[in-house]
Structure formats: C-alpha cells, structure tokens
Amino acid sequence: MSDTSGPILAADGTPLKKKLQQTLFRSRARAFGLVFPLLAFIIIAFILPIILLLSQSVWDSRYADLMPESTKAVAGWDSSTPPTEEMAAAMVTDLVQARENKTIGKVATRVNRELSGTRSLFTKTARSAAKLEAPYLGALIDRDEDWGKIETWAAIKVAAKKFNPSYLASAVDMKYNADGTFEREDEGRRIHVKLFWRTLEISFLVTVFTLLLGYPVAYLLSTLPVRTSNLLLILVLLPFWTSLLVRTTAWIAMLQGQGVLNDLFVVFGIATDEDRFSLIYNKTGTLIAMTHILLPFMILPLYSVMKTIPPSYVRAAKSMGARPSTAFWRVYFPQSVPGIGAGALLVFILAIGYYITPALVGGQDGQMISNIIDFHMRRSLNWNLAAALGLVLLVFVLFLFWLYDRIVGIDNMKLG
Amino acid sequence: MAESESDAAFVEFERVQKSYDGETLVVKDLNLKMPRGEFLTMLGPSGSGKTTCLMMLAGFETATHGEIKLGGKPINNIPPHKRGIGMVFQNYALFPHMTIEENLSFPLEVRNIGKSDREAKIKRALDMVEMGTFGARRPAQLSGGQQQRVALARALVFEPELVLMDEPLGALDKQLREKMQFEITHLAHQLGITVVYVTHDQTEALTMSDRVAVFDDGRIQQIAPPDQLYEEPENSFVAQFIGENNTLEGVIKEIRENGLALVQLDDGELIDCTPVNVSQPGERTRVSIRPERVEYNKARLQKGVHTLKAEVLEFIYMGDIFRTRLRVAGNDEFIVKTRNAPDQERLQPGQQIEIGWLPQDCRALDA
Amino acid sequence: MKLTKTLLATTALAFAAGAATASEITVVSWGGAYTKSQVEAYHKPWIAKTGNSIVSEDYNGGLAEVKSQVEAGNVTWDLVDVELSDAVRGCDEGLLEEIDPSILPAAPDGTPAMDDFIPGAITDCAVASIVWSTIYAYDSTVLENGPKTMADFFDLEKFPGKRGLRKSPKANLEMALIADGVAPGDVYDMLESDEGIARAFAKLDTIKDETVWWEAGAQPPQLLADGEVVMTTAYNGRIFNAVAAEDKPFEIVWDGQVFDLDLWVIPKGAPNKDLAMDFLAFSTATEQLAAQASWISYGPARKSSSPLVGTYATKPDLQMGPQMPTAPENFKTALQNDFEFWADNQDELNERFNAWLAN
C-alpha cells in the first residue's frame, strides 16, 4: 500500500515533476523568445562565419573535387614506390578535363603550395595533355622529368586529401608527408613558432608596461575629486577619439631617426647627430606605440576597481602602525588585483591580435603573428593557412583563459 | 611621567585651526584637553568639524594652525603609523581579502611581534568581543554587528592607549546599536583606555560618554558631562541639538536681584527664567524648557510661579509616557511629556489648560 | 564553402538596392600620382566620348579584395589595375574575366594590337597599360658623389648609411644577385637552385642590419626626404614624381632595374562588364598610353606609343622620353620580372624571406 517509493503526484494525478515542467515551460519559452533574435544574430553573423573560416584550416577539397580520377589513383599509392602507369593515366584524364573546364589554374595553385614549381608543371602539361598517348607515364616524363619524381606525386597525394592537416602542421612549422607522418620544416622555412613566441613576448611586455604606467595614473584618478578625475579621464580617453592610424603615424614622427625625440636627445647630448637611437621600425617601436595605444584599456578597469576601494582601508592600515609602503602592498594592492587581472587580460588579448601598429612601426623584428595572417589573407591568398594560424592563435588564447581561471579565477575579475 | 600626567592632559588641542581651501575654516580655534582614561564624544551635525578633528588627531589631516599634543608631546609632524592610536572606522574597514585572524594579526605583524605572542593576543582580543570562534572567516561572511566587534578587536589588539571611533555604530539597527553602545563603554572602562568617539547621534553621546563636546560651525559649543549638557545647555544651539526642547521667543524685561530674569514673550505674557547667556534688559532671547519639566497638573504646580494658558492640540498615549502637543504663546509645537501615573490626567484635544514650570528649568538663551 | 557563399550573398542582397546605375563603372587603381595620370589620360577622354561616368577607387594591390568580392558573389569593382603576377594568378584561380584581344584597336599605322604590344603584355585575362620599374634612388644633396651601380647599393663601406627595401622577396633577390655579379639574363636560372637562393640571401645579409623595410609605394620618397635612409629601392614613377612635382633632389640609379607590367583586369561577374571592356580597349589605345606618359614616368605598353611621348604635363621643358624605364640609356642592364618564376615559387620564397627577416 505504501506509495512513498513512487513519484509524488500533483492534485490531478500527474507526477509533480512533470507538472512542474509543464508550468515552467511557458515562462522558459517566453524567455527564450526574448533572447532568440540576438542569439540568431550572433550565430549567423559571428559564430558561423568563424566556424566556416576555421574549418578551412583543416578542410580543402579543391583538388579532390576538380581532379577526381587522380585523387582515386594516388589514394592507394604507398608514396614511396615509383609512380605507376595507372596513376599517370588518371592524371592525364584529369588534366584534359581541367584544361577544358579552365580549372587547371586552381589545381596548379593548390599543388604548388605543397611543392614549389608544380604550378607551371601542371599548367604547361595541361596545355598539351590532350595530345598525350599511352603509355602515359612515359609520355608525361617525356614532357617534364618532374613527373617521374616521387616527391611530385607525394605532393599530389597530400593535396588530394580533403580533410587535410597540412595547413595546421604548417602553422606550427611542421610538414605533413604523403605517408601520413609529420616532420619539422627545414630550418630556413621555420617562421610561425618563432612569431608565436615573439607575439607572446611583445604582448607580455606591453601588458607589463601598460600596468606599470597605468597603475599610478588609475590610482591618481581614483583619489581625485570627481570633477578633476572626470576631466583627466577624458584625457585618458582622448586617444580613443583619434584614429588608430593617425596615432601610429604620430609615433613615427616622434620616434624616427630625424624625429622629435631623437632631435631632443641630440640637443641634450644624450645621442650624437651621427649615432641616433633606433626607436622605430624595430621591436622598440612596436612596444612603445602599442603600450601607448593600449594604455586606456589598462587604466579603465583599474580605475573602476580602485574607485570602489574606500580610502579608509589604507588609513586603517596606517592607524595600526603600517608604513605607507606596507599599507599599500598588503592592503591596497591585493584589493586592486581584480582590476589588474581584467586590465592585463584585456590588454594581453588585444595585443596578441594586434596588427596595424606592428605593421607600420615594427620593421623586421617587431612583426607579430597577425601580420603573417594578414599576409596570407591579402597577399599570398592562402586563406587555408591563415585560418590555420588563426585557429592556433584562438586555441592558444583559450588556453590562456583557462590558465588564468585556474590561477586567478575568472570570477575574481572586474570588467566595468 | 606620573607627575607630568596629572598636570598636562593626555590629549590636547591648542588653538587648532583647519582649512581645506584656504578661504573658509572648517575648524575654528579649537581648544580641548582630555585626561587619560576619559571617554569623550564629539557630537555635532555633519559639517561641524568633528570628523576633521578626529582625522587631525589620527594624523590623516594636518592642522593648518595650532598644536595637537599626545601625552604632552606635539604630534603634528608624526605620521599616522607612528602615533600608535587605535581606530575604528565608520564602515569598519576590515580588509576583505584577509580572514578575521589575519586582520587582527596585521597590526601585530607590522610591529614585529612574534608568532606565539600574536596568537595569544589575537585570541584574547577576539574572546573579549565574543568572536573567538570566527577567526578563520572572511569579513564578508559576518553580519554587520559581528564585523563591528571584529573592528573593535582589531583596534584594541595592539593595546593602544588612545582609541578613536568614527561613527562606528552608524550602520547597525537600533537594537544592536544599543547593545554595542553598552559593550563599548564597558570595554573602554575595563581596559582603562582613552576614547575619542565621533557621532551625530545625541542619545549615543549621552549614554556612552564621560564628557560630550558639542560641535557646530567649527567650534566646540559646549563641553560637559551628559547630565550637565542636557540640563544646563549654555546656548540655544546646544539646547536645540541635545534632546527634545520647547522654545519660546521674547525679550528680557529685567534681571532681578535673585538672579532670575523676567521675560516678556512675544504675545505679551511674562515668565520667570534663569538667564544663561543673556544679561541686558531689552535683549531678545530664546527660552528653552524641556518637555518633561512642564507641569499641567494643578496639584503639582508650585505656588507663585508664572503660568501660561495653553490649548491641547493632540494627545498621544505612548505607554510609559503621555505626549501632549499644545499651543502656547502662539507656538503650535509645544510638547509636554508626562509620566503615566495613576493620578495623571489624560487630556482631550481642544481642552484649555494652564501650564507652569520651575524657573531654574526655564533657561533664557541667546536668540 | 558553398554555405559561406550563400550566406555572404544573402547579406549582399541587402545592399543591392544601392548598386551603381548601368552607365557608371568603378575603376580601381593604386592612388596618388599614378591614378591622377590615368584620370587625365583615360578617364576624362572616355567620359567625354561616351557620356558615362567613372567612380575612381584606390587600393594597395593584391587580389584579396577581388577574391572576397568574387567569392561573395557581390562584385562592385569593374576594372582593376594589377601587377603581372597577380593578373596571372587571378586568372588561374578563376577570379577574372577572360579578355578577347580582338577588341583592342590596332596601332595608327595598322599594326595589329597583338604585335603592337610589347611581349607578355596581353594575357588571357589582362591587358597591360604601362611598364614600371623597381629601381633605387638616393638624395644627391646627401651623397654628392653618388652610387652608380647595383653593387654600390650593397656597398656599406663606400656608402655608409641606412638602406630602404621593399618588404618582399620580389625584386630584392634579383637585385642582390645582380649586385653579386650575376648577369641579368642568368638571374632566374640561378634562383631556380637552392644555391642561387642562398647566394641572394647571403648578399642581402650584408645590409640586413642597416635596412628599413617599406611596404607602400609612397613610403620610399618619404624615407629619403626624412633622411631615414641614404638610398632606397622604389618604383621609378614615385621618385620621378617627387623630383618633377615636388623638386626633391633625388637621383635614380637605373643599373639593375627590375621592370614589370601593370595590367587592367576585370573581376569575374563585374556589374558593368561590357562597359568595362569598352573602357579597357579605349584606354590601351596608342594615343591614350602616350598621353599618360606625359603625367608619370611609366613606359607605355605599346611600341607605337613611344614616338608620341612628349613633355611633362606641367613642365614643357621636361622631356619624358629619357625618364622612362624603357629609354635605351636606362634599359641596358634591365631585367624583366619573371611572373612564371614568381607564380611558381612565391609561396616558398615568401616563407623563406619571412623566416630570414625574423631571424
């Protein structure tokens, strides 16, 4: 008779849990309806494009779509034995077709990314492919001896893979081989890892500099009467009202060899006229300009946190016998940590993706990873590699977030 | 040491002035002497200069002119952390990133006191405020009253001789505040420390202090023990500010030989008063009478005193007392408080009565 | 990819309402003095002749904008002025319309267009208008006894001071080899081998620490004027413009110049394709090309234009002929940029160049 083990029932006999869900459904549906437009907008305009772009870093079906026969033929090849007649025949069929469809250029560009020089190999051979006769392998080699080389066919085999890790590998200076192994890129071509590290180094230094410069300013702002502090805050924000490009160019005028700063150094005898400081077109220039441009992003979170720290804390500490420095380090500073966390994370993440400023004032050793991404987006048109680099950067930033959460705690951060 | 202390006050303000903007004085010519062990309250409306005085004593503000002495030595140039003064702040200022124990440990650590000593002192201080079991918690996990106790313990843990308190009970509800008032006074006397206490709550000032300094307009208007302050206010500001008070306006007719003054009220009635800070016939005056010193029970009225006609406007039964609002000499806000005694008459609105008081309870003050 | 296109196309629909009217074309070029020369020599006469209008836009080279417009299915540019390697690559990737050379007018003397244009000027998707050149220049008030040869540019002992170079391997590798003693005709053969590339980089290494890298064509004259560098590679027209229009004391060293073509291309799916074709044929006629040469010192791509080249538009005593990269005096050691080589190898060489820069 005991029904204590069964579900509790509502007055009309339906289980209470179900009844509760039914009642809650309406309000949940309404709440969802309210956020749906924004959700849809974000998914369509932000998340989907990012996913689509990033998917290009591992997905490239260009070769497989345009050269179906040779794709099938190289799939079974072990990538270490010499090419076979069957592969050559499939290649000729595809080349004739691609020439007819005028898609040979796309195919050639794709293979050329795996092996330099294959672009012209494909376009030239395709021009006369229709005239080639069996045995095709001999005929191809007759056209160009590169067709007999294993490395050519290995490049084709890699290009024919739709799901293709070669771009990601390249983004971390690795090479994806036709037999599915990875190896390090030749020393003369290793660039990305180095740039990732430099990007980290510059971002870290910029974060430290903005903190060192911004902390006293934020402290001053937070202690001044509201009228004065608002006025000074406007000065802090003033750079936001000027275009980024103008500010960066202004730094060029300031820092260059014949610039204002160097002229002053010469006048005060810190430098000689022949031997002026190199303040721009190098890492120093990038650091100076980025520190200036990102400074407000450090000051604002710091200020908003410091404003909420009552002066009575430091007074209390002093009244208890703490020297001003002790009072600062043990009482004031720990309470400003949420602001430091927010400001540092903001500046660091902005810095890690910075690109116009290093491009303009960075010279050769002030370039960052985003400059290479830009290069592949706009110059080499290798969007797949750009996407792969972006993906690595994104994963890295997410890793930093995770690390930050583990060490400091995301909840211990005030953003406004 | 002992001999100098009996002459010189423990805390002393000598002709102290303070200005923030160089145009107006927030504190004007402040003179104050406090003996060791006294509980002194600075009472006054906001902006009266009392908090500034406290901050100057603590060292967070510097006096524009004059000298502040502690134990006979001028401290104007000693920074706050070397003054050895304990302080309790309005919002407690407990360090939110430290536990209660760490909060209490802080003043001991900066004094380089050894670990075992520290622990003993912290335990004693927390037990003293009955917070012994809360040592590991953070301030945010405590109620307002508990935070208040911790703040008190922290100000006392390093055994300062002088403790300053800046409206420490302002954020507590009434019941808790009354309890804490008692506990603070009790502790202060038990430990024999000297306390300067700032508040704008006159009840608090009266119940806690040995002496109360009433501040207004940058000056001490009167400094006296609570009973004297209440019963013998020296000017109309103090009379108005401390306790409930009835005011009638008039002109001094004459000062009699027995020391009393005859005052003609503005509606022509004459009454007898004790002149306090008025001396000349013809001077305008404000006459102050405490509501509980007014009598309308004819049986209790003393013979030979002037009485006034009054009309009852309102009668409020408050349990232990009756509170009656009257119209007296054109003043509609004349309040009378009478004890709820068996023979006490309960008045009806519209009733015409006569009221009177003793001349010494009726003080003629400045207008 | 399909989905991206659909998505981008949907967004594009929203803007379609504001699209250009049929009698207006959008012509995109490199800006500055170069665009001005085109406006004077091509745009104005064409507008006068046909009554259509032209929207002139600037860009910084490369195919990125064309690629995104074509892939989004929302092409707004009708005609773009590109470098040869971009013209070839764009054609390969199917981003450009093919151009039928028969629409090009013959020379005044009747020579067919195919023979009148210099070799390589007409490709499947592009028609050249000018020959331009990467040269190096110096300030004659700073270096009175100035450099004469390509080797001088790399000689830090003879001419101490900062150098300006374009931040790209293109032209730099060629110049490095020429300076190292390789004959212009052997440069690309040399670059086909790893040793040749290593040799070029080794030569660049000798001035790497003294180099300021530029990216936009407007930078080199500025670097020279600011005294940031004592000599810099540059596009010859930019230096000429600084000398002719701004009276800057710059000298061009023609030895080892690397010349290239600028060509008109039409993005695939251009909104006014037929009008764009008409403009293209009009602007590459003999007289128009000759007229442009009086505004900027870039050589016309038609042989028949050369005799018609006159004086600088605002300075009647400044003969334009000797200012051209193709002038016999300047052309002796000239090297034509090999677009085939660069199309094949630029991915690898860019990578090596970037790696070299970063080290």
CB contact under 8 A, C343 and A379: no
Between CA A374 and CA A379 the distance in angstroms is 8
CB contact under 8 A, A319 and B87: yes
Q: Give the mean model confidence (pLDDT) for residues A216-225.
A: 91
- Same domain (yes/no): C93, C126: yes
The answer for residues whose C-beta is within 8 angstroms of residue A236's C-beta and 6 or more apart is A217, A221, A295, A296, A299, A300
Instruction: Locate A382 and state its tokens.
Output: 């290798």
Tell me the shortest Cα–Cα distance from B102 to chain A, in angstroms.
11
Between CA A415 and CA A301 the distance in angstroms is 6
- Same domain (yes/no): C154, C121: no
Q: Does residue A20 have a pLDDT over 90?
A: no
Q: Give the mean model confidence (pLDDT) for residues A260-281.
A: 83
DSSP string, C50-84: H--EEEEEE--SSSHHHHHHHHHT----SEEEEEH
In tens, the pLDDT along A151-160 reads: 999 999 999 9
Between CA A125 and CA A88 the distance in angstroms is 12
Boundaries of CATH 2.40.50.100 in chain B? 244-366
Domain B2-236 CATH class label: alpha beta
Strand C79-83 to C250-265 pairing:
antiparallel
In tens, the pLDDT along B24-56 reads: 899 998 999 999 999 999 999 988 889 999 999
Say which DSSP state A376 is in: I
Question: 């080290």: which residue's tokens?
Answer: C359
CB contact under 8 A, B89 and A323: no
Q: Which helix (H) or strand (E) holds B324?
A: strand B321-328
In tens, the pLDDT along A271-307 reads: 887 777 878 878 888 899 899 989 999 999 999 999 9
Give the closest of A56, A113, A194 to C347, CB-based.
A113
DSSP string, C179-205: HTT--GGGHHHHHTSHHHHHHHHHHHH
Q: Give the mean model confidence (pLDDT) for residues A334-358.
A: 89
Between CA B77 and CA A309 the distance in angstroms is 27
CB contact under 8 A, A189 and C352: yes
Distance of CA A122 to the CA centre of its chain: 34
Residue A368's identity, in one-letter code, is M
Chain C residues in contact with A123 by the CB 8 A cut-off are 92
User: A311-337 in b/e burial notation, b at 16+ Cβ within 10 A?
Assistant: ebbbbbbbbbbbeeebbeebbbeebbb
Tell me the shortest Cα–Cα distance from B108 to chain A, in angstroms.
8
- Same domain (yes/no): C245, C266: no
Backbone angles phi, psi at C122, to 5 degrees: -115, 120
In tens, the pLDDT along B284-304 reads: 999 999 999 888 877 777 776
In tens, the pLDDT along A187-207 reads: 878 889 988 999 999 999 999
- Same domain (yes/no): C106, C230: no
In tens, the pLDDT along A226-254 reads: 888 888 888 888 877 888 888 888 888 88
- Same domain (yes/no): C165, C245: yes
Between CA A339 and CA A333 the distance in angstroms is 10
Residue C77's identity, in one-letter code, is W
Give the closest of A316, A321, A323 to B158, CB-based.
A321
Instruction: Locate A410 and state its tokens.
Output: 């995301």
Q: Does residue A10 have a pLDDT over 80?
A: no
For residue C2, the model assigns a pLDDT of: 42
- Same domain (yes/no): C172, C70: no
Residue B229, classified by CB atoms within 10 Å of its CB into exposed (0-12), middle (13-18) or buried (19+), is: buried
Its domain, for residue C68, covers 2-131+261-318
Q: What is the pTM of this model?
A: 0.77
User: pLDDT > 70: what percent of chain A?
Assistant: 97
CB contact under 8 A, A315 and B107: no
For residue A415, the model assigns a pLDDT of: 57
- Same domain (yes/no): C98, C205: no
- Same domain (yes/no): C144, C168: yes
* Size of the A and B interface in Cβ pairs below 8 Å: 67
Please report whether residue C324 resides in a domain: no
- Same domain (yes/no): C162, C57: no
Any CB–CB contact under 8 A between A50 and chain C?
A: no
Q: Which helix (H) or strand (E) holds B311?
A: strand B308-317
- Same domain (yes/no): C309, C352: no
For residue A414, the model assigns a pLDDT of: 60
Topology, domain B244-366: OB fold (Dihydrolipoamide Acetyltransferase, E2P) (2.40.50)
CB contact under 8 A, A321 and B84: yes
Tell me the shortest Cα–Cα distance from C135 to chain A, in angstroms.
21
Please report whether residue C326 resides in a domain: no
Chain A residues in contact with B58 by the CB 8 A cut-off are 315, 319
3-state SS class at A278: coil
Chain A residues in contact with C91 by the CB 8 A cut-off are 105
Chain B residues in contact with A312 by the CB 8 A cut-off are 89-91, 93
CB contact under 8 A, C344 and A195: no
pLDDT band at A356 (very low <50, low <70, confident <90, very high): confident
What CATH code would you report for A192-412?
Answer: 1.10.3720.10
Any CB–CB contact under 8 A between A2 and chain C?
A: no
Domain boundaries, chain A: 1-55, 62-189, 192-412
Count of domains observed in chain C: 2
CB count in 10 Å sphere of residue A145: 10
In tens, the pLDDT along A153-179 reads: 999 999 999 998 999 999 998 989 888
Interface predicted TM-score (ipTM) of this complex, two decimals = 0.80
CB contact under 8 A, A320 and B90: no
Angstrom distances, CA of residue A123 to CA of A102, A103, A201, C97, C348: 10, 10, 44, 18, 18
* pLDDT less than 50: residues of chain B: 1-6
One digit per residue, the tens of pLDDT, for chain C of length 359 reads 344 444 444 444 444 434 444 489 999 998 888 899 999 999 999 999 999 999 999 987 888 889 889 988 899 999 999 988 888 888 888 899 999 999 999 998 888 998 899 888 898 899 999 999 999 999 999 888 889 999 999 999 999 999 999 988 999 999 999 999 999 999 999 999 889 999 999 999 999 988 988 888 888 999 999 888 999 999 999 899 899 888 899 999 999 999 999 999 999 999 999 999 999 999 999 999 999 998 889 989 998 888 888 888 788 888 888 888 988 888 888 999 988 888 888 888 988 898 888 77
pLDDT band at A413 (very low <50, low <70, confident <90, very high): low
* Torsion angle defined by CA atoms of residues C33, C37, C38 and C43, in that order, rounded to the nearest 10 degrees: 120
For residue B139, the model assigns a pLDDT of: 93
Tell me the shortest Cα–Cα distance from A365 to chain C, in angstroms.
6
CB contact under 8 A, A257 and C344: no
Chain A residues in contact with C64 by the CB 8 A cut-off are 377-379, 381
Tell me the shortest Cα–Cα distance from C270 to chain A, in angstroms.
19
- Same domain (yes/no): C59, C109: yes
Name the nearest CA neighbour of C219 among A256, A275, A365, A263. A256
Name the nearest CA neighbour of C123 among C259, C301, C304. C301
CATH code, C53: 3.40.190.10
Any CB–CB contact under 8 A between B113 and chain A?
A: no
- Same domain (yes/no): C71, C154: no
For residue A7, the model assigns a pLDDT of: 67
The answer for residues whose C-beta is within 8 angstroms of residue B198's C-beta and 6 or more apart is B41, B42, B50, B51, B54, B164, B165, B166, B167
